[in-house]
Amino acid sequence: MKRNRRRPSSKPRTSPAALERLHPDAAGIDCGSAEHFVAVPPDRDTTPVRSFATFTGDLHRLADWLTACRITHVAMEATGVYWIPIFEILDARGFHVILVNARHVKNLPGRKSDVSDCEWLRDLHILGLLRGSFRPADQIVALRGYLRHRTTLIESAGALVQRMQKALIQMNVQLPLVVSDITGVTGLRILRDIIAGQRDPQQLAQHRDYRCRASEAEIEAALTGNYRAEHLFVLQQNLELFDTYQRQLAACDAAIEAQLARLTATVPAPTTPLPPSRRRPRAREKNEPRIDLRTPLHQLTGADLSQIDGIGPYNALRLLSEIGTDMSKWPTEKHFTSWLTLAPHNKISGGRLLSSRTQPSANRAAAILRLGAMNLGRTQTALGAFYRRLAYRVGKAKAITATARKLAILVYRTLKDGFVYADPGADVYDAQHRTRVVRRLRQRAENLGFGLVDLSTGEVLNGAVS
């Protein structure tokens, strides 16, 4: 008896003719920390495989040798950060360079070595079997470097805050219990006065800011502690380091502002005005830059990503530094969500779906979208209602991924087609979802010979009740 198998939902992928040489002038580079191994076609040099040291002079000699061998395309494997200098030199010299995911070329038969790796990359690239990893424009890469460094500074400053909290607890100074943030206005005033030598809890409690929820009496009780010299020394050192990191963050923000000015200098003014901000006044997060971000981002993209729920101006800036402004790199929104590893990774064999789990990935853009999806769960928006419905049905982890995918689609449509997002609200989404559920129930009832009755009105929604 024959089994009916499902027909494929799309046309088979077209492939080039067998062993067609799409890039005959291609070379492969296996990158390392001390030397790079380079392979060119055997007919271009008597020694088609050479090694070059990683010093700058040797990298330029590598580029000269490739030029002499009439090479136009180069493929290299992403190895740590060792590929960055040679990539930038070759790209500046006019070579068409692609960076290859090691997962895509790991199935090398035979004994593995640096020589065989670069030859394998060369052979695959000549046949056009390699896909390059995405890398934004050079000016966007520079902006990305500043923003990634800024994230590192924030993380380092956060570690110092934890050490200050530990020193306070060791002295039984329970400041973290009465102040939500010891690096806020009240907390820093008290810490600096403690370092200056003040020990009187009553005097220290007078530094309370009017916005602090705890009273002066509660703060005074919390500041009565055992001030030991070794713990005070640790507190002082970490506070000085925290101040240093704050100065570095200010300098980094100035560099980001200058880079944004360079990016917008070559971009014409947008045709549409900047829409009003959807955030409340003074709603800026503590770790966000104290500079105007919406105006330059609107000039760069011609749209305002901060109009999308879950994406503020700072997250929009971080997202653009990772994906760039040119959405033509991804033909459709499905390609974009697949690159972000937010789409199901279907494994099908013998007509059976073995798994549809999303692939593990360290994609920073996806992490930003996931963070936005988590924040949406506490909002009365359509996306927030979508997240809560899925979290109840399939769990929070899958709901975050699905909501992040929706955010990615909105970002793609906004940057590519100028789509303007308008939140319909949680009530509208719930009503639409209820309509869809009732329609599906009505269809199932009709198929089974039953009918639906509205208990509030007594109206028969379809057919007769059996």
The two tokens of residue 63 are: 């580029």
Look up the CATH superfamily of 26-126: YqgF/RNase H-like domain (3.30.420.140)
C-alpha closest to that of 59 among 44, 46, 74: 74
The amino acid at residue 23 is: H
In the prediction, which pLDDT does 3 show?
47
Do 382 and 355 touch, CB atoms closer than 8 A? no
The two tokens of residue 438 are: 């009732």
Would you list the domain boundaries of the chain?
26-126, 140-263, 294-417, 431-462
Q: What is the rounded CA–CA span in Å between residue 92 and residue 94?
A: 5
pLDDT tens for the 466 residues of the chain, in order: 444 444 444 454 444 455 677 888 999 999 988 999 999 999 888 889 999 999 999 999 999 999 999 999 999 988 788 899 999 999 999 999 999 887 777 765 666 788 888 888 998 899 888 888 888 988 999 999 999 999 999 999 999 999 999 999 999 999 999 988 999 889 999 999 999 998 998 999 899 888 888 888 999 999 988 999 999 999 999 999 999 999 999 999 999 999 999 999 988 888 888 888 876 655 567 888 988 899 999 999 988 898 999 998 999 999 999 999 999 999 999 999 999 999 888 877 787 877 778 888 888 999 999 999 999 988 899 999 999 999 999 999 999 999 999 999 999 999 998 888 888 888 888 888 888 888 888 888 888 888 888 777 777 776 444 3
In the prediction, which pLDDT does 430 show?
86
Residue 187, classed as helix, strand or coil, is: helix
In the prediction, which pLDDT does 115 show?
86
What are the CB-based long-range contacts (under 8 Å, 24+) for 107-110? none
The dihedrals phi and psi of 93, each to the nearest 5 degrees, come to -85, 0
Let me know the angle formed at the C-alpha of 405 by 403 and 409, rounded to the nearest 5 degrees.
120
Do 408 and 337 touch, CB atoms closer than 8 A? yes
Find where tokens 């800011």 sit.
209
Q: What is the DSSP letter of 354?
A: E
C-alpha closest to that of 68 among 30, 27, 122: 27
In the prediction, which pLDDT does 314 show?
93
Phi-psi region of 3 (alpha: psi -120 to 50; beta: other; left: phi over 0): beta
In the prediction, which pLDDT does 67 show?
93
Packing angle of the helix pair 229-265, 138-170 (nearest 10 deg):
160
Do 293 and 314 touch, CB atoms closer than 8 A? yes
In the prediction, which pLDDT does 39 show?
92
Let me know the angle formed at the C-alpha of 155 by 189 and 278, rounded to the nearest 5 degrees.
80
